[in-house]
Structure 1
């Protein structure tokens, strides 16, 4: 079909991968746009893969999108995770044409009935009706480490603090191992408990353990798991068995690596284990031919809580890339507005309740003070009478 002079062509997973393989390695293709990612977390009952769609103008590929379909109790949507990806210069007009072509394709498909599209955009003002997604989505800025260096040059490119901490980890007996067997089981028993500790410490929400295991088991050729082990204490016997203290899960796709997930416990902080882990994964991703590594999210308007990890990641590179933001494109505007209002009310409810309790306590305190403390005028009157 044609929309805004673009043709939308559904393709198979193998055709999708062949097309990407033929593209220049300099083009950033997020792993979430790969055929492999379509099989990750497939047990999620709300999510199914909808289609690989290629957008062409006069026969030339200009963009592509791996599209997921989400069906929840109150709505259906199409989600393009970390996409669309543009193979030519991304302009406001082209971004608008791609979104409109996707919307028209969805409207013409009798097998689906999405209320909205959820896509990552650079030029949302170019697409009429687009609104910032109520969900935060993926990170909006990331630190990127450029590879292609010798091991010595790579380490030298780090900050002096990072180099010092890497050396400190070695002196503390930190050992980094790549897990190549029983990765799902190792993750559940050794890694996820560390992530639960990290989430409790840093106050962020966890995905179910099954999601991380799915990345390892359903995309094994693209994912790697590294675990840092260290002595349980500084005075532990040298021969004592080391314990897991930190881990990192990486992916690599189309010449680019990604530090996708990771976590550390208190002992990892004492031993600088995360610095040893980062050094190791950057060396390994260099060895396997990647040109750069994305270290994922840092602080932004929607992710202010990432300031701590930003400081850590900037020890390894000062390059920061700005990424497209997440937006919704309503296909059923009236229903979408009603849904959005309901979701906003629900998401703001706990915060509003906390504010109400705080205000009530404040008013109660002021009332008690008013009862027990005489007014200035009354005090002056009492003094005048005595």
Structure 2
């Protein structure tokens, strides 16, 4: 039996703000606001609006959609959402999935292959995803106790390293907003490049972070740790409706010798608490789909025992046959290098001649 769809209604920025104000206890991620949509637009991407979903007159959820035009797989992506205002039951999600399918199949302005969003109770037609889009577990620090209690809640290792950083002379500064882009470009982006090279990941270009700092400045903080007058570690936090997120950070090799990242994050907690935030999410830690996050998990666990599970990202196909063909093609492409490496040298040479790829041995 097909679930009964919800009523959907596109929201203006003013309508979104009124709706959010009427539900002060609901945590709304910054990525699900008009402010984030404006930031995406400045990057040259295409936000497709925010919709509210109602069961009669009762608000159930909202979702902010971003158009993605990747080759052969145009889609609408809900980044870190949807936001649920009603209880997120198995049936409620099934109705939302049915609503989204009906909504965008009938929309002449878009022809997405699939809709991507977080689903807590996956059930057909939910599948995939073709690529994972968001972390699934995070550590959250409670900022409601007084600062002494917060500090006492850290692991002893973190408390000791914070004290050592202070004794070594690490100084933490909150950078003036008018100087953010300049300071990031000249002092901080090289640290990000060093961190990415050392830890084996790809960072955005400096212009991404500069645009973030410029467009979302009213919802961000940029804090930097200095040693002997030189920047060694930095972080960017977001804030919205009393909830903050430790969003981006990087540290030089010398910062590790001085424990600067520990002192920097502790100073950030104090600033965020003073500003009225009740919690700070430390973003992703290791999970089944993100084993590489083990590298940052140990650091983040020093600051809280509270681990929050976040619904996994899934795809909702609107054209099931086309979606299955694309999914199979991507699977073959991803598995081919590993299968080629496992072949004996003679077979690699034959495969190379057939496919036109380099590598392997000669037959």
Alignment TM-score, normalising by the size of structure 2: 0.90
In structure 2, the residue corresponding to 1:73 is in which secondary structure? coil
User: Distance in 2 between the 1:302 and 1:75 partners?
Assistant: 22
User: Distance in 2 between the 1:326 and 1:33 partners?
Assistant: 15
What aligned pairs does 1:1-386 form with structure 2 within 5 A after superposition? 4-25=4-25, 27-45=26-44, 47-125=45-123, 128-180=124-176, 181-231=178-228, 242-356=229-343, 360=345
Aligned to 2:360: none
In structure 2, the residue corresponding to 1:65 is in which secondary structure? strand
State the Cα distance separating 1:57 from its structure 2 match: 0.7
In structure 2, the residue corresponding to 1:261 is in which secondary structure? strand
CA contact (8 A) 1:6 1:97 kept: yes
Computed over aligned residues only, the root mean square deviation of the Cα atoms, in angstroms, reads 2.0
State the Cα distance separating 1:346 from its structure 2 match: 2.9
CA contact (8 A) 2:247 2:283 kept: yes
User: Distance in 1 between the 2:46 and 2:92 partners?
Assistant: 27
C-alpha distance 14-248 of structure 1, shift in aligned 2 (>3 A):
same
State the Cα distance separating 1:350 from its structure 2 match: 4.0
Q: Which has the larger radius of gyration?
A: 1
Structure 1 gaps of 5+ residues are 232-241, 364-386
Structure 2 gaps of 5+ residues are 349-363
In structure 1, the residue corresponding to 2:66 is in which secondary structure? strand
User: Distance in 1 between the 2:81 and 2:234 partners?
Assistant: 28
State the Cα distance separating 1:40 from its structure 2 match: 1.6
CA contact (8 A) 1:8 1:55 kept: yes
C-alpha distance 354-227 of structure 1, shift in aligned 2 (>3 A):
farther
In structure 2, the residue corresponding to 1:251 is in which secondary structure? strand
Mean Cα deviation higher: 178-187 or 282-291 = 178-187
- Count of matched residue pairs: 346
State the Cα distance separating 1:265 from its structure 2 match: 1.3
User: Distance in 1 between the 2:292 and 2:115 partners?
Assistant: 27
User: Distance in 2 between the 1:209 and 1:95 partners?
Assistant: 38
User: Distance in 1 between the 2:186 and 2:334 partners?
Assistant: 33
